[in-house]
Structure 1
Amino acid sequence: MTEHKLAVVGAGGVSKSALTIQLIQNHFVDEYDPTIEDSYRKQVVIDGETCLLDILNTAGQEEYNAMRDQYMRTGGRGGGVLCVFAINNIKSFEDMHNYREEIKRFKDSEDVIVDTKQAQDGIPFIETSAKTRQGVNDMLAVSRDCAKKKKKKKKKKKKKVILNSSLFYNYMIYIPFT
């Protein structure tokens, strides 16, 4: 069985947990409860393939940066990272640079931020909503597709995939580990 390992990172309050819980438990959590670190595992079917999904939902608060660093230092669990930010919170967007640098410090990953025009040119751009579940399963398909491409093209440039969560105004950037 294929295992998909993902870490979900981003500033506090950008709905990382709401999206993760909707994906794992098919339940929408509308109240904000700051996460220190939660791990979720679930067997899922993606495009007819049974997979084991292993998600680490990380803390968004700055006081837990050391925990994220430790995660990256110990190998990132061999998967990728979903970076989440809210478009109604400019600081959470600006933090994406810090997450990118943090990931690059521990992993050799070259990536490209995808804008709307690039999405029109065939790079995935998926709207998601934790409340309505719109696009939530598509997040898995994108991570699986990125993992397959990574295996085939290890020496080629990696790409970030931005996923838009319209209800909470979130975007996620998938960064596969090399």
Structure 2
Amino acid sequence: MTETLHAPARSYGAHSPLAYLLNLAGEAAQVSDQEQREEAETAVIHHLSRSYPYSLAQAIDVMAWQGYPAVRGPRGVICEASAVAWLDGGLWLHHTVRSIESDGALDVLTLIVPCTCGRGYTDITLDSEDMLMELLTELRPTHGQSVHNGALLDCAIVPAAAQIIDL
């Protein structure tokens, strides 16, 4: 015996305040890709002005940031919306805002550095302007490249995008 499920009947009027509010909530839940891109770009600009006012906020033009929408798979969000800026010499900055239950949200800024082996990148999560300055001091002798140590797995060879995200 096959049973058919039916949606429950609406117990409120089509033009009631509740109908208006529920429609408003439905529209708010559908953030467009363009809105996600713009929000990601705005978030990184605010983060740099607060946390990196004397370095990154001065060095990187606000128009250099390219926002990307969240990537979704059948099980939900795989990657949060983010913004990326090209620094030149193979270096990139990647920023995203991660939702964390205990604190609400956390800015995550990552410097992506090419390896001296030429086959991969090292990603370094930055937590302060002081850390950035220390890291840049270390990268200066190699002209912005991470020193490859063959004994350690210190760089990751970048696979094709389809291999990175298992949709």
Task: Give the structure-2-normalised TM-score.
Answer: 0.31
Please say which structure displays the higher CA radius of gyration: 2
Q: Which has the higher contact order (CA 8 A, sep 6+)?
A: 1
Task: Give the structure-1-normalised TM-score.
Answer: 0.30
